[in-house]
Chains A and B, each alone.
Chain A
Amino acid sequence: MADEALFLLLHSEMVAGLYRAAEQGEGENGRCITKLENMGFRVGQGLIERFTKDTARFKDELDIMKFICKDFWTTVFKKQIDNLRTNHQGIYVLQDNKFRLLTQMSAGKQYLEHAPKYLAFTCGLIRGGLSNLGIKSIVTAEVSTMPACKFQVMIQKM
């Protein structure tokens, strides 16, 4: 309940702090998104371990993606993913129409250029979670209208 506010505030401070540091530093602007994504990766790995301690084994990739969309997303963002699409060849698109980290920012096209900063951590979160469930992937995000956003997961065959 109250933890939600804490996490949201911590996340926005993290993004702001990293970018502030980058501005004062030697101009490593492109690295901030990578840093956020790596943080999310580490957190996702740890979180998925604790979360799936008692759950049954997953049957296949689609089952894992459904778990991410329902249980994982509900625990982290208190709601489910609104739409999951796949081409059955390793590409999944998760659509969230009211992404928790963007609702407070704007409800349209305003501040659209700042949105990717706030999605990097979540991309890492998904990638980390999948990696500890045995799936190597690349996760990207796109926003066309806030607060809706789409996460695209590309499974890498090893």
Chain B
Amino acid sequence: MLHKTKQGLVHIENRRSISSITECSKCISCKGGREERRELWRREGENTVTERRICCSRKKRYKQAIKYFKRYTSNMSRPPGRKQDNHKISRELFVLTYGALVAQLCKDYEKDEDVNTCLDRMGYGIGVRLIEDFLARSAVKKCRSYSETAEMIAQVAFKMYLGVTPSVSCTSATGDEFSLILDKNPLVDFVEELPAERASLCYCNLLCGVIRGALEMVHLAAEVTFLQDKLKGDAVTEIGIIFLRKTEDKKHKRNK
């Protein structure tokens, strides 16, 4: 009997003889001890003939097991470090895109302040949307103080999106001002130095805007600036966050 199946195999013979009943083993999945059926399959276009042992009543199970096995082994055959490479390359995509953006802005605007403002504004737009993504991914609890917020930004958010963990330190007695110190800034991976005519460009000003926008969406007004920048010759990159207190108390007094 000859017929074509979807996979292109041609079934040429269905063999069940007395000798095969005595020599074949018990079906492993079928506990009733029924005999196996041996079938010869010839792949279309090839000359090999393979013998397949199919349990008479559990044909489906065997086929599923073969499919699962094939899928599993094909996944295993990929090189092991692939996922990490992909992760690294998608981060490089972001860094390269950011670099191209800064280069284009430098071409469009002559003054550094305009470029900085533009980057800050873009960062703000990104930050107001990124905070939702962040909260959805990290599912963190509400922060109870400014220092907890700063720690959250440094240890969770930066780690999640940029893969680095800046160190946090409080720079004021009132607990309103913090600074994040970055030893390694992935955004400047491909930047050697700022060109001479762009000495006051804040290359990573986008980060300031992102933090500011994200904090505003959780009802915390803040001022974020770059205090030190490695690209400008300082030792480390330092981002300063100043939390601005809400003026609710003052409003109450005025109404009275």
Contact = CB atoms under 8 A, between A and B. Distances in A.
Contacts of A121: 97
Interface string B147-174: 0000000000000110000000000000
Interface size class of A (residues with CB under 8 A): 20 to 34
A75 interface: yes
B91 A3 contact: yes
Interface residues of B, number: 29
Contact of B93 (A13, A17, A21, A43): A43
Contact of A76 (B90, B99, B130, B137): B90
Q: Sorted from nearest, which 7 A-B pairs have the closest CB atoms?
A: A39-B100, A13-B122, A43-B96, A9-B126, A3-B90, A5-B133, A46-B96
B109 to A, nearest CB: 8
Given A10-B94, A14-B122, A17-B118, 9 more contacts: A3-B161, A6-B126, A9-B130, A10-B126, A11-B97, A17-B125, A21-B118, A43-B100, A47-B93
A55 to B, nearest CB: 11
Given A2-B160, A43-B93, A16 B125 contact: yes
B116 to A, nearest CB: 13
15 contacts: A6-B161, A9-B129, A10-B98, A10-B122, A10-B126, A13-B122, A13-B126, A17-B118, A21-B118, A35-B104, A40-B100, A42-B103, A47-B89, A47-B92, A47-B93
A92 B1 CA distance: 44
A9 B206 CA distance: 12
Contacts of A17: 118, 121-122, 125
Nearest to B209: A13
Max chain A Cβ within 10 angstroms of own Cβ: one of B87, B93, B108:
B93
Contacts of B135: none
Max chain B Cβ within 10 angstroms of own Cβ: one of A11, A38, A50:
A50
A3 B87 contact: yes
Nearest to B100: A39
B209 to A, nearest CB: 10
A10 B89 CA distance: 16
Interface in A1-34: 1-7, 9-11, 13-14, 16-18, 21
A21 B125 contact: no
